[in-house]
Chains A and B, each alone.
Chain A
């Protein structure tokens, strides 16, 4: 319908093209890779901005562009792309963050010999992510989702000569694949029920009213609605991709990849794809058979907002809008809160809250700077799901956006630290870096405060506060709120701990390095070059500036995502203020505890135990070994799988192999019989016949000894005999 919609496909296509070009470029050509990739992304960013402006100008409208991919029989598989505030916002975020991470990688990867390949993979990944974000078909989304998984696999294993990296890549691939099976099944189920995989198709898409009513009405044997089953299956995919319990173990291991990869894929974008997916299909997860009266009840309120929008609309999402409104306007949303949430939302909320708590606790006891951030990511993703379940897409996506910026910032900062400390990742070997790396320190501090939820100035505060608020106001249960609150405290605590270890206190690097036998003369940690600090600064600025779109006073983002025109709200309700107070208290508690534990009693040497370790050793050990979840899997699924494998092996070798061997032996025996028959009867007969012929010929040929006189003698004898016979006759 507009120019922007028509050229939207360029956004993922450009990085894909760049990736294709780079994949054909010889490794020694390093010059063009980075400018090409960044240029493609920059162009995509501009288009995305235009698309965002387009989408925001009429936020309730969903513009979709569909076309037939292929046809089989009478049914056609259609794919297409969609432009609505959600996809536009994600497009802008992904192109922007990815662009700056690309810039950062110029510095970080400058020494790597596979520089070009790195950018090839990065571009491929970005292209796939953009495809996920803008696709209007679950099929296309799934395809891009899998390409993303592939790119993630390739990038985690980028340094594949390290066994740990290769193992981590494999692990990531397999764990996400477990979730993807759910995704695939849900998709198939959806197709079977509705006959389409398009999300929006002028009333015929599977996220629109007709299909949702049908899905909510269709129940399977256990009484569960088809929509619930499908949503739960799709949530499996999201769990795998976004590293939620119980499939979260791959994400911390994925930190074996280069740090920009961790920043881009495993913090900012890819892992958020699961959250995005659930936000995208939120109408599906909220659709209930009993939602009908609510639709009618809220219809007048929505009708005023939507009456002016003629084209394709999210007409089937009144429940989600109601939730969004509940988050934004809690005082008015009391009526909605009384209806109990659907099973899908319950599952999502519990999984999210548990993940947030567990991962943040584990992060407290880690020493690897990137691993801390990885668990932090898992924890924040849990927050997002919690927000998504309790407050609707706007709440979850707001945290997704803010998190993308500050977590990318933190990872890049960690990358800068690692780069400056000569590939050192253990925070016990750092310390006192704020003097040597001031720019990194400053930006890292901004990211840390945003993550921990320092009030008012930092975007993370507002988004997390909103999640806590909506969880508090949730009609289902208060427990997720409590878990989230503890997680928030733990978040502030482990970030303080990390800051204390990395940037304050004496530097603890050198002696340990010499102990380890490093031959290279270790220089002092140094600040990273401009090409690396500049992205840090930009991202830090964004981490602060993003505040403006989501404060309770001006909830622009929520309005836009809910399909309303943004409005400025004069008064702030008591509930919001209460939630803010709680989250400020939580953050403060975390900071104070962290301060007491780490800043006052600074660790002076590498071997100094962690204060908490000396205090509560048993719990510490549990947390340090990450809750023994890997071991648990090894003990449970691993053993079962191995046993099943052995059983199959046994089955194969003894039963099937026995059968095969029997058949083989039977065939062999038959062949032997045939051979014996041949050899002793047929061949024997022939051979004997031949031999006798030969022998008789030999005997006959004895006469033919070549002696002519003998022949003549015989002739003469015969002649004499003939003569005698004639005479005596």
Chain B
């Protein structure tokens, strides 16, 4: 069953790279593994015949968010490894909780009544359809998200802008 094989491979890739991206000490490596994870997800979407979503995933996450992360890492810690422990003081509790939640949710998933396993749709919407939909039914969300993105961009610039004269009385 090639489809299932591809799925398992993709799923494994995603999980492993996700774990790696959170477990490594070197932040640059972490970011790179994160991008691998995102690529895996993009592949998953493609596999689900959601080409547009996969492309968006690849472009936005791998291209934009990943690059921003790397920039942020370089601007803060200079790309070096963390000094001291890279784990929080309560990391065992955190992981324990995450595992607990995973079991709970997995239990929930497995106990949920399996709806009819509808066949996977093979036809996919064209870009033209998507564009029409965006400009008609989803106009308001589109405008809202545009406003949000603009505000986030301006806000990020304002926050990160180097102040010409750092005031002395500012609380460090």
Q: Using Cβ atoms and an 8 Å threshold, which residues of chain A touch B97?
A: 713, 716-717, 720
- CA of A723 to CA of B93, assembled, Å: 18
- Which residue on A lies nearest to B91, using beta carbons? A709
Chain B: minimal CB distance from A507 (Å):
96
- Which residue on A lies nearest to B102, using beta carbons? A720
Q: Using Cβ atoms and an 8 Å threshold, which residues of chain B touch A716?
A: 94, 97-98, 101
Q: Using Cβ atoms and an 8 Å threshold, which residues of chain A touch B111?
A: 727
Instruction: Mark contacts of A699-729 with chain B using CB atoms, 8 A cut-off: 1 yes-contact digit, 0 otherwise.
Output: 0000000000110110011011001101100
Q: Using Cβ atoms and an 8 Å threshold, which residues of chain B touch A726?
A: 108
Q: Out of A710, A713, A723, which one reaches B108, CB within 8 Å?
A: A723
Contact A709 B88 (CB under 8 A): yes
Contact A713 B90 (CB under 8 A): yes
Q: Out of B94, B100, B104, which one reaches A727, CB within 8 Å?
A: B104
Q: Using Cβ atoms and an 8 Å threshold, which residues of chain A touch B93?
A: 713
- CA of A713 to CA of B94, assembled, Å: 6
Q: Give B3-33 interface residues, CB cut-off 8 Å to A.
A: none
- Which residue on B lies nearest to A716, using beta carbons? B97
Chain A: minimal CB distance from B28 (Å):
23
Q: Give B91-119 interface residues, CB cut-off 8 Å to A.
A: 93-94, 97-98, 100-101, 104-105, 107-108, 111
Q: Are A727 and B107 CB-contacts (below 8 A) given A713-B93, A716-B94?
A: yes
Instruction: Mark contacts of A296-340 with chain B using CB atoms, 8 A cut-off: 1 yes-contact digit, 0 otherwise.
Output: 000000000000000000000000000000000000000000000
Secondary structure dominating the interface of B: helix
Q: Out of B94, B98, B104, which one reaches A723, CB within 8 Å?
A: B104
Q: Using Cβ atoms and an 8 Å threshold, which residues of chain A touch B90?
A: 709-710, 713
Q: Are A723 and B101 CB-contacts (below 8 A) given A709-B94, A713-B94, A716-B94?
A: yes
Q: Using Cβ atoms and an 8 Å threshold, which residues of chain B touch A710?
A: 90
- CA of A717 to CA of B94, assembled, Å: 9
- CA of A719 to CA of B97, assembled, Å: 9
- Which residue on B lies nearest to A724, using beta carbons? B104
Q: Using Cβ atoms and an 8 Å threshold, which residues of chain A touch B104?
A: 720, 723-724, 727
- CA of A712 to CA of B100, assembled, Å: 14
Q: Give A150-199 interface residues, CB cut-off 8 Å to B.
A: none
Q: Using Cβ atoms and an 8 Å threshold, which residues of chain B touch A717?
A: 97, 100
- Which residue on B lies nearest to A714, using beta carbons? B97
- CA of A709 to CA of B92, assembled, Å: 12
- Which residue on A lies nearest to B107, using beta carbons? A727
- CA of A385 to CA of B110, assembled, Å: 142
- CA of A719 to CA of B104, assembled, Å: 9
- CA of A717 to CA of B104, assembled, Å: 11
- CA of A131 to CA of B100, assembled, Å: 120
- Which residue on A lies nearest to B112, using beta carbons? A727
Q: Using Cβ atoms and an 8 Å threshold, which residues of chain B touch A723?
A: 101, 104-105, 107-108
Chain B: minimal CB distance from A125 (Å):
79
Chain B: minimal CB distance from A727 (Å):
5
Chain B: minimal CB distance from A713 (Å):
6
Q: Using Cβ atoms and an 8 Å threshold, which residues of chain A touch B94?
A: 709, 712-713, 716
Q: Using Cβ atoms and an 8 Å threshold, which residues of chain A touch B98?
A: 716
Q: Give B64-106 interface residues, CB cut-off 8 Å to A.
A: 88, 90, 93-94, 97-98, 100-101, 104-105
- CA of A713 to CA of B90, assembled, Å: 9
- Which residue on B lies nearest to A720, using beta carbons? B101
Chain B: minimal CB distance from A722 (Å):
8
- CA of A684 to CA of B111, assembled, Å: 59
- CA of A532 to CA of B93, assembled, Å: 122
Q: Using Cβ atoms and an 8 Å threshold, which residues of chain B touch A719?
A: 101
- CA of A713 to CA of B88, assembled, Å: 12
- CA of A719 to CA of B111, assembled, Å: 18
- Which residue on A lies nearest to B98, using beta carbons? A716
- CA of A453 to CA of B97, assembled, Å: 138
In the A-B complex, list the 9 residue pairs whose CB atoms are closest, starting with the nearest: A723-B104, A720-B101, A716-B97, A720-B100, A724-B104, A727-B107, A720-B104, A727-B108, A717-B97
Q: Which residues on A are within 8 Å of B, measured CB to CB?
A: 709-710, 712-713, 716-717, 719-720, 723-724, 726-727
18 A-B contacts, Cβ less than 8 Å apart?
Answer: A709-B88, A709-B94, A712-B94, A713-B93, A716-B97, A716-B98, A716-B101, A717-B97, A720-B101, A720-B104, A723-B101, A723-B104, A723-B105, A724-B104, A724-B107, A726-B108, A727-B107, A727-B108
Q: Which residues on B are within 8 Å of A, measured CB to CB?
A: 88, 90, 93-94, 97-98, 100-101, 104-105, 107-108, 111
Extra contacts, 19 of them, besides A713-B94, A723-B101, A723-B108 (Cβ < 8 A), are A709-B88, A709-B90, A709-B94, A710-B90, A713-B90, A713-B93, A716-B94, A716-B97, A716-B98, A716-B101, A717-B97, A717-B100, A719-B101, A720-B97, A720-B100, A723-B104, A723-B105, A726-B108, A727-B104
